[in-house]
Chains A and B, each alone.
Chain A
Amino acid sequence: MNSIFERHPEQDLVRYLDGELSTRRSRQVASHLENCGRCRAELEEFQVAVADCANYRNVLVAQTPEAPAPWRDLYRDFSRIDEALANNSLLVRLMRPLVHSGVPRWAFLAGLAVLIVLLSLNQLRQAPSVQAATLLRKAVAVSQSQPHPARRIRVRSSRQPEFTRMSGAQAAILEVAQAQAVAAMFQRANWDWNDPLSARAFDQWRDRQVHKTDEVTAVKDPAEPSEHLTQIRTTSPDGEVEAASITLNTDDYEAVSERLEFRDQEWVELSEIAGTSTESAGGTGVSSVEAPVRAAEPPSRPAAFTPGSSASISDEIQVLSALSEIGADLGDPVNVELAGGKVKVTGPAEIPAHRQEEIRASVASLPYVEVAFTSLPPAQAPSVASTVSASSVSAVNSPLETRLEKHLGGHAALERFSNELLDLDDAAMQRVYALHRLAQKFSPAEEASLSPKDRAALHELSRKHTAVLASKLDGMGSILNPALSALGGTAASVPTASQTGWQPAANDLVRSASDLDKLISQMLAMTPGNPSPSDLMTAWGELRANLDRCRQALK
């Protein structure tokens, strides 16, 4: 086409000048300019205007009134941030979700000051916002450290008749037309529609709210009135969503239902349809009743010694060992799967780049490995927060905590006690979940088909976790038991289970570890509840016994 007869590209001249046109369009404009004096002249005028602007800017730079104060040396603040991120003081641990949510430093300090006041009122951990943040942090951590099941979710809303959908990344592909209106609502709220009913999605939304108010309440499970659930309700004066609430299973922090209320009176309710979870968390759930989306490609495992060019279980165990070397089986949301003749290592792109590199490097020398980090829909960049959430202080109380404080000799001692205990508990839970994942991956039948060498490697991997777990548990015991028995607690004897292999023992381990974790949270008034010293001692004893059983089986 002859460019002379083309419409004059006046609209695109500035873009052309700034190099912001596509290569193709840029070439078209260039060839038009060659033949069109009028546009060339116009381009020149724009060039002059841009140059004027550059001069003008220089003048402004010279004329800008000086900043009223000398610029602060931010280095000191940087190291304070480092400290705050690394410091494990209970206060910081509890406030960490706020730091991460992008609350500015001064607001963080203001929040800290408020908390210190609360501390002196002995109501530290009852601030609902802190409670909510802690609960969500736990729930997100638990969901990331466990195999993520596909679930069937019931969706009710002001827009659409009720329908159901599967959660998980594959869900989008199966999206039914009727879901679109609701999907649009979620998009509007910038809420991850691929995994809408999750602590992670809720936490991401909550993090973005600047002026939020939280409420944490214990509610009855409508399906099983004897069971209690924990509900977090967050309201926000800004944004599309006016209020959102999430209900978590008190035992395993799994999200069971959720409600979003939009500012324009629209609403959506999501609830898990019981019994559709494909994996039971800690053995409390029900096994699958229908084929989940994830089962679309059942990983048919090749026999251990398959010769030729595809991966075998041996390779998978090697990959698992390599990842374990760098601690990638402790909390990193990384999944290992044997499928299509490859050992597939997958994880979300949200894993920090340097960590992705470490993970890639750790398995780089192994055969048939495929590593992929796929991105979830991008979360909107958080706007700059300007105030710390103003939450009313509810007076949830843990009588046991009060007694402990008295026994230990004051608040500082209680805080030290809590810190040490929570650190050990976090480390222990990581090991428990890592072990549980191995137990789920390699059933007793599967293990029987392994070669002696592979079986030894698998046991070695598992033993590493049980050894660390044992030391953490003993540490917890040495902190917990003396204090609790001084308060009159005794450990009930634990019935000895019949010996059935390390996998069932690992399942029991998850259950008893979650029990203890829950009781510790209640004891330290992080979640509602009123456990007795004996409850805690018994739970610890049971966990220790399950661990011993597991270690025995791994010998």
Chain B
Amino acid sequence: MAQLYTETREDVYRYLLTLGVHPPKAQEAVQEVFLRLYTSLKKGEKIESLRGWVFRVAHNYGLKVRARQSSEEKFDPAFETRLMSPSANAERDLLDREKMSRLNTAVEGLSEQQKRVLFLRMEGLRYPEIASTLGISASAVGEFLRRALLRLKKVRDE
């Protein structure tokens, strides 16, 4: 449990940022999700994939938090500017940086659902886990992912 928390918290936190949740709220949410996980396990709930569970609960929580911050702006992690900032990428060669930046633009251009599926897939979740997180079918996950990768492939070919 402690290990899962240490290993996963940053990933869940990052995922919540990509959902547009502001950093303090995202961090609070992550901690809350783990407390909930602990309570559920204590109560004897059987959870097959802990990582999948954490992302699913975090996703629902994140959307709720985001809905409540609707008056404010959606948080933008501004990966683009970070990627292009030379100080942060001193060791990274220009070509690589440009490639990543293009990829970033392409990811930004994906539909909301495609983006979510892609991010969750990048976090190592299996299709059924992604499906239950987003409330869609596993075959829909496959289709969203395929389209997302097609878009990214096209950008690369350009």
Contacts and interface: CB of A to CB of B under 8 A. Distances in A.
Interface in A361-390: 381, 383-384, 386
Given A20-B127, A53-B118, A74 B142 contact: no
Interface stretch (A96-104, A264-272, A481-489): A96-104
Chain A at the B interface: mostly helix, strand, loop or mixed? helix
Contacts of B55: none
Contacts of A78: 1, 35, 38
Nearest to A72: B31
Interface in B1-51: 1-2, 5, 9-10, 13-14, 17, 23-24, 26-27, 31-36, 38-40, 42-44, 46
A77 B35 contact: yes
A65 B103 contact: no
A173 interface: no
A68 interface: yes
Contacts of A61: 10, 14
A53 B121 CA distance: 10
Contacts of A56: 100, 103-104, 107, 122
B153 A74 contact: no
Contacts, number: 135
B72 to A, nearest CB: 16
Give the size range of B's interface with the partner: 35 or more
A27 to B, nearest CB: 18
A56 B33 CA distance: 26
A60 B107 CA distance: 12
B156 A48 contact: yes
A62 B91 CA distance: 13
B35 A14 contact: no
Contact of A384 (B24, B61, B88, B107): B61
B23 A75 contact: no
B152 interface: yes
Interface in B58-75: 60-61, 64-65, 68
Given A74-B35, A352-B44, A353-B44, A52 B156 contact: yes
Interface footprint category on A:
35 or more
Nearest to A17: B149
Contacts of B116: none
Contacts of B82: 63
Contact of A14 (B123, B138, B145): B145
A67 interface: yes
A50 B149 CA distance: 7
B64 A81 contact: no
Interface in A103-162: 104-106
Contacts of B100: 55-56, 59
A60 to B, nearest CB: 6
Contact of A383 (B42, B60, B99): B60
B54 to A, nearest CB: 11
Contacts of A102: 36, 39-40
A59 B107 CA distance: 13
A349 to B, nearest CB: 9
Contact of A386 (B64, B83, B138): B64
Contacts of A163: none
Given A81-B35, A81-B39, A106-B32, A49 B153 contact: yes
B7 to A, nearest CB: 12
B11 to A, nearest CB: 8
15 contacts: A11-B146, A14-B142, A53-B149, A56-B103, A57-B122, A59-B83, A61-B14, A63-B79, A69-B24, A71-B9, A104-B32, A352-B43, A352-B46, A386-B65, A386-B68
Pairs of residues from A and B, 5 with the lowest C-beta to C-beta distance, nearest first: A352-B44, A384-B61, A14-B146, A63-B82, A57-B122
Interface of B: 1-2, 5, 9-10, 13-14, 17, 23-24, 26-27, 31-36, 38-40, 42-44, 46, 56-57, 60-61, 64-65, 68, 77, 79, 82-83, 88, 99-100, 103-104, 107, 118, 121-123, 126-127, 132, 138, 142-143, 145-146, 149, 152-153, 156
